Amino acid sequence: MAQQQQELLQGYTKYQYFVVTSPAPAVAHVEINRPAKLNAFLEAMWLEMRDIFRQLSTDQDVRVVVLSGAGNRAFTAGLDVQAASQNGPLNGTEGADTARKAAHLRRHIDEFQECISAVEKCEKPVICVLHGISIGLALDISCCSDIRICARDTRFAVKEVDIGMAADIGTLSRLPKVVSSISWVKDVCLSARDFSAAEALSVGFVSQVHDTKAAALDAAFKMAGLLASKSPVAVQGTKELLNHARDHTVDQSLRYTAIWNSSALQSNDLQTALLSGIKKTKPRFEKL
């Protein structure tokens, strides 16, 4: 599905660095839109990302989100280091003592983390499509997504060690829970080495690899259309319960599931889905 065939999504045209379109009913396509700079992030961009995903989370007309990067070269090259060096988080703290500089920097990091975590906190499933250069912040963002698909040319790296810091926006917290091998996680995080789409697939970081970006997007749109056709009560509940299970014990997760479904099972969607199965008709579910 070509990008030019997609319609701009009403209510999302105010954003400068993202284009939000609708490739299919109840599907939103969020595109990072700074291709001339390899979609590298300025502070204004992560603030916009937070606002977009908070808006999408409660938008009743949207049931699934596809996230990608504009252009052929990069999903994102991460943080715009040049811009950050010129207008860094410690600007304006000259003369302050260590404790006050630390407090200022902590608030900055907290806000940055919150903006990227908005992808994970979005109530709707988020399918991330990666291609080309996908380093640094690309890992933070994609780890927050529910499903990751990539093009064969994707070049990944947890790059922060090479710029003299430990990654602090989410990769070190989430990547060990995304893949099963802590040895591999430490391998790529400590070395900051590149890894390929094939390697990402082999460790389970992505679930699909396609020959081109266009093919990866088509696969994502097809998957999004399928998810959007299902009960939003069931889909959003499943995301919530899976994320809870990831971070809690089995007993805690079972208890939370029982409490969650004591409400969710009272929706009309359950009866609608059961009757459609008996009658062999396509179910239609109300907005959530």
Alpha-helix runs per DSSP H in 38-94: 43-57, 81-86
Report which secondary-structure segment, H or E, holds 129: strand 126-130
Top CATH class, 3-228: alpha beta
Is-same-fold flag (3-228; 232-279)?
no
Residue of 198, 197, 201, 199 whose CA lies nearest to 187: 199
DSSP bridge partners of 20: 30
What pLDDT shows up at residue 1?
A: 41
pLDDT of residue 280: 85
- pLDDT for residue 71: 97
Furthest CA-CA distance within the chain: 74
Q: How far apart are CA 231 and CA 191, in angstroms?
A: 43
pTM of this structure? 0.94
d(C-alpha 283, C-alpha 257), whole Å: 25
Domain 232-279, CATH class in plain words: mainly alpha
CA distances from 251 to 214, 236, 239, 240, 263 (A): 43, 21, 18, 16, 19
**Residue-level pLDDT at 90:** 66
- pLDDT on residue 4: 45
- The residues spanned by each domain of the chain are 3-228, 232-279
Q: Residue 4 carries which DSSP code? A: G
Contact assessment for residue 12 and residue 63, using Cβ atoms and an 8 Å cutoff: no
**Digits of tens for pLDDT over the chain (288 positions)?**
444 468 889 899 999 999 999 999 999 999 999 999 999 999 999 999 999 999 999 999 999 999 999 999 999 999 998 887 777 776 777 888 999 999 999 999 999 999 999 999 999 999 999 999 999 999 999 999 999 999 999 999 999 999 999 999 999 999 999 999 999 999 999 999 999 999 999 999 999 999 999 999 999 999 999 999 999 999 999 999 999 999 999 999 999 999 999 999 999 999 999 888 888 888 999 999
CA 141 vs CA 107, 124, 171, 202, 271: distances in Å: 20, 15, 8, 20, 37
Question: Is the dihedral angle over the CA atoms 215, 221, 261, 60 positive or is it negative?
Answer: positive
Alpha-carbon distance of 273 to 241, in angstroms, equals: 20
For the chain, helix (H) and strand (E) counts, in that order, are 11, 11
| HSE of 168, CA atoms in CB hemisphere, 13 A | 13
pLDDT at 2: 41
Q: Which helix (DSSP H) or strand (DSSP E) does residue 277 occupy?
A: helix 268-279
What is the distance of C-alpha 111 from the center of its chain? 17
Nearest Cα neighbor of 103 from 114, 117, 89, 116 is: 89
Q: What is the pLDDT of residue 26?
A: 97
